[in-house]
Structure 1
Amino acid sequence: MNPKVSIIIPFYNCPYVDQAIESAINQTYPNIEIIVVDDGSTEFKEKLAPFQENIVYIRKENGGTATALNEGIRSATGEYIAWLSADDYFLPNKVAKQISFMMRENVEASFTNYNYMDETSQPIDHWTRPVFSNNDDVYRAFLNYNAINGCTVIIKKEVFEQAGYFNPNLRYTQDYEMWVRLLIEGYKIYYLDEELTKFRIHKESGTYKHQQAMQQEISIVENEYKPLLKEYIARNLE
């Protein structure tokens, strides 16, 4: 049994989008839908042309990553949702390995380890990544930082339908808010310790260009959710 996986690629003026799409097309998993959500791009749209027959293309007014993800999730016909940023890419066996893990463990959501790369797709080895020995460690990590790289996540679509979509008011930390909210509401996000995604570090990324705005949003998320997370951990893990 190979349930359909919808890979959603939010796209806004990103020169690497063709590499992201190719990595989705090259998945060894046999039942995949690729949805590219064009969030009002004015540049690099020509990079989509070679893939017209391989993707579902959605164009919308610019509203930020959360709105693009939400649009993709609502349009998805897959049972599972994967998010791939336009400047990152998946290793060929990413979906196959992760879906196999999720079905074997009977879980609704999972995330994995990943590698860093630079503007030219060369590996960056000196950047460290969090590794977790058990699921309780994931909860405790969120007391200090966003422990999940959003592009490593695969999650059942019904989870979003039950718990809600990404917060469109958070342009840079919509993923942080989503994962903490899910954990507090009792959804477990299981960790697979395999490096299945390449995360690109470059000077045009939102993470690099909007540090101050990100820090402001992080404070908003933590002020709202950290007390609730502490309460959840005290009640359920300790």
Structure 2
Amino acid sequence: MSARVSIVIPFYNCPYIEQAVSSALNQTYPNIEIIVVDDGSTSCAELMAPHRHRIYYLGKQNGGTATALNHGIRHSSGDYIAWLSSDDMFYPDKIRVQLEYMIKHKALISHTNFNYIDENGTVTQHSAGASSMTRRELLQTFLRGNPVNGCTVMIKRSLLQRLGLFDEKLPYTHDYDLWYRILIAGIPLHYLNQPLTAYRRHPGMGSIRHQGVIGQEIISVQRRYIRELYRLIQRGR
């Protein structure tokens, strides 16, 4: 039997949610489940009405993206987990191509390149992600910020069971924290240099509205792991 992949989509008052869900439903890989976690929305939930019979729809009290992702992961059944922001989209071959790559390379986690799109879904930049890097180059990049787009990630459930889920005390940098934990555990963070996700930049996106708070949170996460990261860099691992 082929591996099952769970796609978790956290949702809070997002007008693009139907496009995100449609992109997950249109995957060419058949063995998937789609879990939409409504994090206490007060609008836009009706946009999913045409698809409710094809998805798992979970509601919860508002608590932030990390709580919604963890809630969805805990209720998922897949061997692999992918997640998608409600304003972004997967390209149709995303799951199939990335899963094949992970199985071939025996990867526990991988991330991919992506395209930027605007409010209308028009591509504004192709292959906007990082170039392929050595392990040492990747570690050094983490000294400056987060080089991994969370919506491009696929991770094996067993790795999350081993290292734990997202830190719910980090509203905006929970993914950055998880990547650090994975790197420090010595797990290779595989990179597939192929754009499989459309990442939408628009005025209402959280990374713009909460830029100041996010910057402070990034510094806090870096301070938490910086000594271990320097040790890894010095050892060349």
TM-score category by the smaller chain?
A: over 0.9
Partner of 1:98: 98
Kindly provide the amino acid, as one letter, of the partner of residue 47 in structure 1. L
How many residues are matched? 237
SS at match of 1:100: helix
Alpha-carbon distance change, 198 to 4 in structure 1, aligned in 2, over 3 angstroms: same
Q: Cα deviation per residue 1:4-56 (whole Å; 9 max; x = unaligned)?
A: 00000000000000000000000000100000000000010101111111101
Kindly provide the amino acid, as one letter, of the partner of residue 94 in structure 2. K
SS at match of 2:162: helix
Sequence identity, in percent?
Answer: 47
Q: Following TM superposition, by how much is the alpha carbon of 1:62 offset from its aligned partner in structure 2, in angstroms?
A: 0.4
Q: Following TM superposition, by how much is the alpha carbon of 1:125 offset from its aligned partner in structure 2, in angstroms?
A: 2.3
Q: CA RMSD in A?
A: 1.4
Kindly provide the amino acid, as one letter, of the partner of residue 98 in structure 1. Q
Residues 114 and 127 in structure 2, CA contact (< 8 A), matched pair in contact too = no
Residues 6 and 82 in structure 1, CA contact (< 8 A), matched pair in contact too = yes
Q: Cα deviation per residue 1:66-113 (whole Å; 9 max; x = unaligned)?
A: 000000111110000001000000000000000000000111100000
Q: Following TM superposition, by how much is the alpha carbon of 1:140 offset from its aligned partner in structure 2, in angstroms?
A: 2.4
**After TM superposition, where is structure 1 displaced by more than 6 Å over at least 4 residues in a row?**
none
SS at match of 1:192: strand
Q: What TM-score results when the alignment is normalised by the length of structure 2?
A: 0.96
1-structure distance, mates of 2:51, 2:126: 34
Alpha-carbon distance change, 23 to 57 in structure 1, aligned in 2, over 3 angstroms: same
SS at match of 1:42: coil
Question: Structure 2: 5+ residue runs without aligned partners?
Answer: none
Q: Following TM superposition, by how much is the alpha carbon of 1:158 offset from its aligned partner in structure 2, in angstroms?
A: 1.5
Asked if 1:58 is matched to 2:58, the reply is: yes
Kindly provide the amino acid, as one letter, of the partner of residue 29 in structure 2. Y
SS at match of 1:162: helix
Residues 119 and 201 in structure 2, CA contact (< 8 A), matched pair in contact too = yes
2-structure distance, mates of 1:104, 1:136: 23
Kindly provide the amino acid, as one letter, of the partner of residue 74 in structure 1. R
Partner of 2:159: 159
Residues 11 and 39 in structure 2, CA contact (< 8 A), matched pair in contact too = yes
Residues 38 and 59 in structure 2, CA contact (< 8 A), matched pair in contact too = yes
SS at match of 1:57: strand
Kindly provide the amino acid, as one letter, of the partner of residue 208 in structure 2. Y
Partner of 1:77: 77
Residues 135 and 191 in structure 1, CA contact (< 8 A), matched pair in contact too = no
Question: Structure 1: 5+ residue runs without aligned partners?
Answer: none
In the TM superposition, 1:173-212 aligns within 5 A as: 173-212=173-212
Q: What TM-score results when the alignment is normalised by the length of structure 1?
A: 0.96
Partner of 1:34: 34
Alpha-carbon distance change, 133 to 236 in structure 1, aligned in 2, over 3 angstroms: closer
